[in-house]
């Protein structure tokens, strides 16, 4: 197959539709909602735009066609995600999280679960359907989610426990999740569905003791607190969720003993999307500041673009954007080739693009100088949004770099496989890198 970065006619149309949606429907809502100090009110302000996105297929287009989704490729998703993230990456995250929650059902669930839950998600006549990806947990000692694959029993790793009650054919959930997106829904009474990763056996480590549970809206014992107020991505909802004697039917459980693989693959799927979202934000910052530099003189006689320092600075930013777009597309193409089994290359794209483009946005701001701090310009928001990319979506230091490390350290790893787009099989032996020390070891990480 030839290497070609030219969009075909379908992709050009997809890009045009996404760009029109982002500029005409989404953009007019962003500034006011972003400035709202109430995170739930800011999220709710996006509901009308979300319904329009749902109608266009942007909320479910990545789900399998046989269950009602659009079945679009990962590369096609890149095209849509860049256009939406260029206007607001928080809103783009709301759409993405539907995939983080529901794609695991497509990969690991039963056929009955796929038909029921993905079919339900893709057939909402009101276009309001939200799915929550309910994995992250509160910080503590121990606490958090980065060490989900720790070999030790509780309290290491995931702490929300699901006890099986065989007499009633149910699992009973107890504990707290912190940070999950979309989980609270439009009214803080729950998303239409939450896909939760839980500890089903507290005596076992993360490679054996985890499973995924499908929790429907209205489940008794699942409650939501005020969403987290964040420095960036303010238009997506991040929740505090508590479970107390929350009973879920056994048929809603999947990937028993393989919840770790659910987490690893879901954050592999989202890696290239997070990478291209960073491209979108950096693109917007670069284009705004480039236009500024062509009219602003800084007290001189010519616009500052004619000064070598500014020209070189913006040229460097432009190069980084193009390089990162190519890397994100490469990772998405790799996932298309190998059923989203591209754990190392997807993580590489997410880490590299997010960190490179955070620096690029700040560098572009230097061309504006102190004017970049003036909130009458959108530039400070671009920096706040760029700040999120190295920290969210499995965290670069927390999970993504460790996933690359785990793949590279495997005995059969071929360092040329990614360049050649050849498959790299991911398995449990590649998880837990750096976590093999017993919990009681004072040197344990």
pLDDT of residue 437: 54
Q: Which residues pair with 253 in a beta bridge?
A: 213
Residues 100 and 68 in one domain: yes
pLDDT of residue 435: 82
Which CATH number fits the domain that encloses residue 117?
A: 1.10.540.10
Whether the Cβ atoms of residue 53 and residue 47 lie closer than 8 Å to each other: no
Domain boundary among 225, 257, 289: 257
Domain boundary among 205, 229, 257: 257
Domain boundary among 101, 121, 141: 121
Residues 305 and 366 in one domain: yes
Residues 253 and 265 in one domain: no
Is 172 inside a domain boundary?
yes
Cα separation, 159 vs 281, whole angstroms: 35
pLDDT of residue 436: 60
Alpha helices, DSSP H, located in 253-342: 259-293, 308-337
Is 413 inside a domain boundary?
yes
pLDDT of residue 6: 93
Number of folded domains in the chain?
3
Residues 158 and 84 in one domain: no
Cα separation, 369 vs 307, whole angstroms: 14
Which DSSP symbol is given to 70? -
pLDDT of residue 278: 98
pLDDT of residue 444: 45
Residues 203 and 303 in one domain: no
Is 331 inside a domain boundary?
yes
Which CATH number fits the domain that encloses residue 224?
A: 2.40.110.10
Residues 399 and 282 in one domain: yes
User: Mean pLDDT in runs of 10 for the chain (445 residues)?
Assistant: 84 98 98 97 98 98 97 97 98 98 98 98 98 94 85 92 96 97 98 98 95 97 97 97 98 98 98 98 98 95 96 98 98 97 98 97 95 94 97 92 96 95 95 70 46
Which range marks the domain in which residue 348 is found?
261-430
pTM above 0.75, yes or no: yes
Residues 352 and 365 in one domain: yes
Residues 269 and 225 in one domain: no
Residues 394 and 350 in one domain: yes
In terms of Cα–Cα distance, which of 419, 417, 277 is closest to 353? 277
pLDDT of residue 423: 96
Residues 251 and 388 in one domain: no
pLDDT of residue 8: 95
pLDDT of residue 412: 92
Residues 147 and 249 in one domain: yes
Residues 138 and 227 in one domain: yes
Which CATH number fits the domain that encloses residue 306?
A: 1.20.140.10
Show Cβ contacts of residue 334 under 8 Å, excluding neighbours closer than 6 positions.
342, 345, 346, 418, 421
Is 183 inside a domain boundary?
yes
């Amino acid at each position: 197959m030839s290497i070609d970065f030219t969009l075909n006619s379908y992709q050009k149309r997809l890009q045009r539709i996404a760009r029109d949606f982002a500029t005409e429907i989404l953009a007019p809502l962003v500034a006011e909602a972003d400035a709202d100090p109430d995170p739930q009110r800011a999220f709710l302000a996006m509901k009308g735009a979300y319904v329009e996105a749902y109608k266009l297929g942007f909320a479910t287009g990545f789900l399998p066609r046989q269950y009602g989704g659009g079945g679009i490729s990962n590369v096609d998703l890149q095209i849509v995600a860049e256009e939406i993230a260029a206007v607001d990456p928080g809103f783009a995250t709301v759409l993405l999280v539907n995939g983080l929650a529901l794609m695991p059902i497509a990969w690991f669930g039963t056929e009955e679960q796929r038909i029921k839950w993905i079919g339900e998600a893709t057939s909402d006549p009101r276009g309001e359907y939200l799915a929550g990806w309910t994995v992250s947990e509160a910080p503590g000692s121990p606490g958090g989610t980065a060490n989900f694959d720790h070999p030790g029993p509780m309290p290491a790793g995931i702490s929300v426990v699901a006890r099986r009650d065989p007499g009633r054919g149910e699992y009973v959930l107890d504990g707290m999740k912190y940070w999950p997106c979309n989980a609270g829904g439009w009214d803080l009474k729950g998303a239409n569905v939450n896909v939760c990763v839980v500890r089903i056996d507290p005596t076992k480590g993360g490679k054996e003791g985890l499973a995924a549970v499908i929790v429907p809206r209205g489940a008794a014992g699942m409650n939501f607190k005020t969403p987290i107020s964040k420095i960036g991505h303010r238009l997506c909802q991040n929740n505090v969720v508590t479970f107390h004697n929350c009973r879920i039917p056994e048929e809603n459980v999947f990937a028993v003993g393989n919840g770790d693989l659910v987490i690893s693959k879901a954050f592999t799927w989202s890696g290239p999307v997070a990478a291209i979202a960073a491209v979108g934000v950096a693109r917007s910052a670069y284009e705004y500041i480039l236009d500024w530099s062509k009219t602003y003189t800084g007290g001189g006689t010519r616009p500052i673009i004619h000064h070598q320092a500014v020209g070189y600075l913006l040229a460097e930013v432009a190069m980084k954007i193009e390089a990162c777009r190519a890397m994100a597309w490469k990772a998405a193409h790799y996932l298309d080739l190998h059923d989203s089994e591209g754990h190392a290359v997807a993580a590489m794209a997410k880490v590299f693009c997010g960190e490179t483009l955070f620096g690029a946005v700040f560098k572009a701001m230097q061309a504006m100088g102190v004017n970049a701090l003036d909130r009458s310009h959108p530039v400070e928001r671009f920096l706040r949004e760029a700040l999120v990319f190295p920290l969210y979506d499995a965290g670069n230091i927390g999970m993504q770099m460790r996933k690359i490390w785990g793949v590279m350290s495997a005995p059969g790893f071929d360092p040329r496989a990614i360049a050649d787009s050849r498959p790299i099989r991911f398995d449990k032996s590649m998880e837990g890198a750096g976590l093999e020390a017993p919990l009681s070891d004072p040197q344990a990480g």
